[in-house]
Chain A
Amino acid sequence: MFRPRVIPVLLLKNKGLIKSTQFKDHRYIGDPINAVKIFNDLKADELVFIDILASKEGRCISLDFIKNVGEEANMPFAAGGGITNIKQIQDIIAAGAEKVVINTQASIKPNFIREAADTFGSSTIVVCMDVKKKFLGKIQTWVSAGEKATGYNPVDFAKLMEEKGAGEIIVQSIERDGMMQGYDIDLIKSISESVSIPVVALGGAGNLEDMNTAFTQAYANGLAAGSLFVYHGARKGILINYPSKEIITKTIEKWV
């Protein structure tokens, strides 16, 4: 039977792996290639790499880095950060990634998603939307490392992205990033209910139970996390970790 993917999301800053809390307080975790080697040994389902400052700094995630990951990774991986044109996607795929993750450019120019999906096929194009409530305001999606509000309501944006040909949507809660207190289930469910493409939950997972909740109650098809796979224990000691397949299948219930 089908089971949802359990996906470590690895954030890059200046070639190092970092972990954020609510998109701030970047803490250095280690060497990303070393992390890939560990996730290979632990047989992770899939990996996602995001260069968090690329859009803000007007550049694209490093191709050399993706090549290095491609040489090592024994599982599918997606890469994103600062993608603005078709040539960049072509280079990233050629360097070994299966999928690209697009955030800022999807909001600025939704038709870019159409162009990308027509060129590479929908299953290659992943849209990540970062969601936060504005102070006393409405919930909306944000871009440029969570610094610019787009005015898009998350459900409307997800529907638009599906219509433009995105193959998958990562729904990330900015407020829950790094908190490890559970996903924003209502948010994820609202997106799952409004699109028919896979939805990946991100932001807030503190344990596999949280993932099970996102799967069984919010219909997330991918269960992604950062802190959960790079920290160990209450004091958040740095330790790359990933559950065994037995534990995943035992904890994450199947649909009846």
Chain B
Amino acid sequence: MNIIIVDYGMGNLNSVKRKLDRIGVNAIISSNPKEILEAGKLILPGVGHFSKAVKNLKQTGIWEALNEAVLIKKTPILGICLGLQLMCKHSEEGNIDGLGWFDAKVIHFQVTDKLKYKVPHMGWNNVTVQKESLLFEEIALDSEFYFVHSYHIQSENQEEVLTTTNYEYDFVSGLSKGNIFGLQFHPEKSHDVGEKIFSNFNKL
């Protein structure tokens, strides 16, 4: 079963591929809707502006391919950072609708102590798993992962909440529902625990 890393022109996909190479998983970077439809598994990474990402996905035909692969063919998919945010209904960043797979919105951080809690939230922080998931199998409780983001998820369906993290207040740092997984942090930048996430995803 091949893994396709979806390339829609946003950010550094090579770091995800290198991490998969390292654990012996052969992944292909592709922007071809047909290949995306036929993939065994999908990874949707991404760094940058939400509205530009939506525009790129729609212009390339990847948007429709993703919807069909994920919603109809039930292809397992892992969204990372902006990739997770794109899976939500709406984002404040550009005030535009996403894929809408999760019953959640993307909002800007609303910290009150601006001296202590700078935005972007950048660095290592603990991830607390909120429900049992194969993705976090054999990963120590409250492991640290690497974050870089200014916007975060606001879930409207508690059952979809996979993980939470605290940055002045608790926010949702991961969502999951059936074959769909999304993480706000970067497993590809998170040493061994990050590798474990990818090998768990590969085993699904």
Question: Residues of A with Cβ closer than 8 Å to B?
Answer: 1-5, 43, 45-46, 70-71, 74-76, 93-94, 96-98, 120-124, 167-168, 192-193, 195-199, 219, 221-222, 245, 255
Contact = CB atoms under 8 A, between A and B. Distances in A.
A167 B118 CA distance: 10
> How would you classify the secondary structure of chain A's contact residues: helix, strand, loop or mixed?
loop
B124 A98 contact: no
Given A4-B123, A45-B124, A76-B189, A123 B12 contact: no
A75 B191 contact: yes
Contacts of A122: 120, 150
Contacts of A124: 47
Contacts of B134: none
**Complex A-B, nearest 10 residue pairs according to Cβ-Cβ distance, in ascending order:** A198-B118, A121-B48, A5-B123, A76-B189, A123-B148, A196-B114, A2-B125, A123-B120, A198-B122, A221-B118
Interface of B: 11-12, 14-15, 18, 47-49, 114-126, 144, 146, 148-150, 166-167, 186, 189, 191-192
A98 B118 CA distance: 19
A2 B124 CA distance: 6
Nearest to A124: B47
A193 B115 contact: yes
28 contacts: A1-B125, A2-B124, A2-B166, A3-B124, A43-B192, A45-B123, A45-B124, A45-B146, A70-B15, A76-B146, A76-B189, A93-B11, A94-B14, A96-B14, A97-B12, A98-B189, A121-B47, A121-B48, A122-B120, A195-B118, A196-B114, A196-B118, A196-B119, A197-B120, A198-B118, A198-B122, A221-B122, A222-B123
Given A76-B186, A96-B18, A245-B144, 19 more contacts: A2-B124, A2-B167, A45-B123, A75-B189, A75-B191, A76-B146, A93-B12, A98-B15, A98-B189, A120-B48, A121-B48, A123-B148, A167-B120, A168-B122, A197-B118, A197-B119, A198-B122, A199-B118, A221-B122
A70 B47 CA distance: 17
Contact of A123 (B114, B122, B189): B122
A124 B81 CA distance: 14
Nearest to A74: B191
B73 to A, nearest CB: 31
A244 to B, nearest CB: 13
A120 B11 CA distance: 8
B123 A3 contact: yes
A219 B116 contact: yes
Given A197-B118, A197-B120, A219-B115, A121 B14 contact: no
